[in-house]
């Protein structure tokens, strides 16, 4: 007998895009509940405890998820389809699948709560709980049934070393993402890591440039912004220097900028958000921001004054100094996110493959799924209509 079941209350929920179909026709399982909870509280102690023991990343952390749902989702016209697994008798959380619904080009697209701001997506569950779920065919059928009929599930940016999401949706199609994830593992000896990782010439050049700045311009400091005033100053600087640099820069859109800024301010005290700033003579010259709710700093937004200080490599300087500071605070892993190696190669980063999975529930969805996996030029066209599809 299966462990997981539906609750009878599902059929009484008001009709929305997420539940307009007949939930009473969804196959039931037994000793737990698997339900859509569109108003799920990501700041609840229960979710915090689930996340702390999960295999998820900082991009599923409580504050990040809460702000995505409350602030960014309404701005992009998305609706929550949060699937929650609970023990029937105790109500204890076993897993959360934080999905969102968006209707584009006549297709209802189901995706993890992401909107282009998350490097990695995951089910929020412990490895053991996930194994129990994935091994149960009734659970898989229930999850599939809770996806809106006719929809297209696009589960992007699945880490190869994370939970194997395809085990929950075995009928789906999975391909390698065009981008990989990059990280650097420092170990317990920073100087040994520096000798092993940084080319001697590169390391010497960074030190030489830092000394030149101190000598020719003024005091050169690197530290985390802690007050709201400092964080706002850093973000305003980043917005100025990034303007005109990148095509379709989400950071420059008001809704996204406000999301990042609000998260940075609210998460600074707890360490769930970190905003590093380099200053010369008290003036910001580089900024590095990201979530750190899983104990690892994830570089999400970078900015540096290359118009005035390009020869001093302020972007590389802040990366190196931030890694050193994180090490001194007891952290041993630094995540440089997705994308090509570029500047990351200077740190001899390690690479982790990333996968995308789709599950189509209509002919139109199947067509889009094939395009997504196989036809890059048409995929780029799709991004014009659904910019958050990466």
User: How far is 377 from 83, CA to CA, in rounded Å?
Assistant: 33
Please name which of 124, 219, 182, 183 lies closest in space to residue 334, comparing C-alpha atoms.
183
Q: What is the pLDDT of residues 283-319, one digit of tens each?
A: 999 999 999 999 999 999 999 998 878 788 888 889 9
What's the pLDDT score for residue 366? 66
Rounded CA separation 309/305 (Å): 6
Which of 212, 206, 131 lies closest to 165 in space, CA to CA? 131
b/e map 335-374, b = 16+ CB within 10 Å: bbbbeeeeebebbebeebebbbbbbbbbeebeebbebbbe
Residues of the chain with pLDDT under 70: 1-30, 340-342, 362-367, 369-370, 375-390
pLDDT value, residue 30? 57
Q: Give the pLDDT confidence score for residue 271 in this predicted structure.
A: 92
What's residue 86's pLDDT? 94
CB-facing half-sphere around the CA of 338: CA atoms within 13 A = 18
Could you give the CA distance from residue 285 to residue 192 in angstroms, rounded to a whole number? 29
Which is it for strands 301-304 and 283-291: parallel, antiparallel or unpaired? antiparallel
Sheet of 297-298, strand order: 297-298, 333-338, 181-185, 350-352
> What's the CA gap between 345 and 357, in Å, rounded?
28
Q: What is the pLDDT of residue 4?
A: 30
Closest CA to 268 of 226, 330, 299, 331: 226
Give the per-residue pLDDT at 16: 39
**What strands, in cross-sheet order, belong to the sheet with 273-280?**
220-224, 273-280, 283-291, 301-304
Query: Structure tokens of 272?
Result: 């769930």
Give all domains of the chain, ordered by start, each with its CATH number. 8-177+356-385 (3.40.630.30), 182-352 (3.40.630.30)
Between CA 166 and CA 101 the distance in angstroms is 20
3-class secondary structure, 6: coil
Predicted local confidence at residue 386, as pLDDT: 56
């Amino acid at each position: 007998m299966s462990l997981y079941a539906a609750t009878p209350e599902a059929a009484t929920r008001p009709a929305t895009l997420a539940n307009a179909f007949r939930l009473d026709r969804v196959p039931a399982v037994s000793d737990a509940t698997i339900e859509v909870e569109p108003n799920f509280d990501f700041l609840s102690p229960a979710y915090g405890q689930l996340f702390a023991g999960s295999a998820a990343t900082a991009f599923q952390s409580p504050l990040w998820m809460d702000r995505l749902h409350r602030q960014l989702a309404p701005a992009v016209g998305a609706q929550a389809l949060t699937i929650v697994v609970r023990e029937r008798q105790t109500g204890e959380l076993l897993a959360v699948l934080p999905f969102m619904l968006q209707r584009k080009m006549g297709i209802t697209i189901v995706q993890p709560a992401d909107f282009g701001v998350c490097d990695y997506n995951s089910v929020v569950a412990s490895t053991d709980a996930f194994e129990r779920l994935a091994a149960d065919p009734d659970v898989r059928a229930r999850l599939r049934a809770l996806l809106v009929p006719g929809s297209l599930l696009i589960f992007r940016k699945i880490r190869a070393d994370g939970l194997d999401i395809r085990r929950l949706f075995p009928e789906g199609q999975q391909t390698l993402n065009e981008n990989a994830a990059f990280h650097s593992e420092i170990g317990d000896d920073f100087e040994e890591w520096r000798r092993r990782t940084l080319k001697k010439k590169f390391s010497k050049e960074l030190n030489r440039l830092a000394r030149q700045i101190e000598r020719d311009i003024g005091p050169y400091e690197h530290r985390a912004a802690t007050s709201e005033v400092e964080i706002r100053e850093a973000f305003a600087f980043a917005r100025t220097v990034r303007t005109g640099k990148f095509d379709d820069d989400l950071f420059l859109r008001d809704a996204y900028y406000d999301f990042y800024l609000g998260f940075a301010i609210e998460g600074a005290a707890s360490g769930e958000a970190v905003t590093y700033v380099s200053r010369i003579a008290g003036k910001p010259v580089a900024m590095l921001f990201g979530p750190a709710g899983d104990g690892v700093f994830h570089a999400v937004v970078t900015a540096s004054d290359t118009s005035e200080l390009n020869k001093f490599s302020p972007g590389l300087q802040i990366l190196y100094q931030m890694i050193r500071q994180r090490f001194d605070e007891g952290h041993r892993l630094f995540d440089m996110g997705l994308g090509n190696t570029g500047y990351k190669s200077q740190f001899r980063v390690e690479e982790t493959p990333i996968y995308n999975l789709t599950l189509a529930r209509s002919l139109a969805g199947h067509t889009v799924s094939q395009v997504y996996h196989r036809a890059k030029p048409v995929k780029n066209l799709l991004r014009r209509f659904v910019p958050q599809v990466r």
